[in-house]
Amino acid sequence: MALWRGTSPLILASQSSARKMLLANAGLEFEAVTADIDERGIQTASRLSNPREIALLLAREKAKAVSTSHPGNYVIGADQTLALGMRLFNKSAGRAQALAQLRDLAGKSHELNSAVAVARDGKIVFEDVSVARMTMREMTEGELSAYLAAAGDAVTTSVGAYQLEGLGIHLFERIEGDHFTILGLPLLPLLAFLRRERLVAV
């Protein structure tokens, strides 16, 4: 039984495998369309420094960019920032930078700010930011090197040089927040919005 009740297909403005998996596992049929925006340029021009505000800005811009070329469709945009205090982290350019990030994060708590925005006809109709607090354990240089060797090039594909659904779980001693927020899509508030709009069958 199809759960989506919209008159036009639901669109995810992302090619993220994690976000596509979350929507598919929730039983939602959707199309994935890449949002062709200059994320760093938008962030710089905004002059925002708050990690939550930056995540929400980029989620909005992704949703609006795809929405303008798909009139009538509900378009989901999402973005995530990793912050140690007010310091923002980006994906590492290589293993040396990944090691430096892990050294900075080890033994401390950082926040993953996951934002979702839904646009229709170029206008935002829903938005939310959820936060997960992640505490990394203290690690020796040998442990960090062993993790990097085992994880391989995957450390350059995620902010913070880890994927919690994979080997990255070994880095942590405590996690506060839901699984969906950590993977980059606040699914529970998104589903609540879709139910309010009578866009899903359950």
Q: pLDDT tens, position by position, for the chain (202 residues)?
A: 579 999 999 999 999 989 999 999 999 999 999 999 999 899 999 999 999 999 999 999 999 999 999 999 999 999 999 999 989 998 888 999 999 999 999 999 999 999 999 999 999 999 999 999 999 999 999 999 999 999 999 899 888 999 888 899 999 999 999 999 999 999 999 999 999 999 999 8
Q: Looking at 36, 38, 79, 153, which residue is catalytic? A: 79
The span from the first CA to the last CA of the chain, in angstroms, equals 11
Residue 79 annotated in active site: yes
d(C-alpha 198, C-alpha 13), whole Å: 21
Residue 155's nearest CA partner among 141, 142, 168 is 168
Other Cβ atoms closer than 10 A to 107: 12
pTM exceeding 0.75 = yes
Residue 121's nearest CA partner among 64, 76, 78 is 64
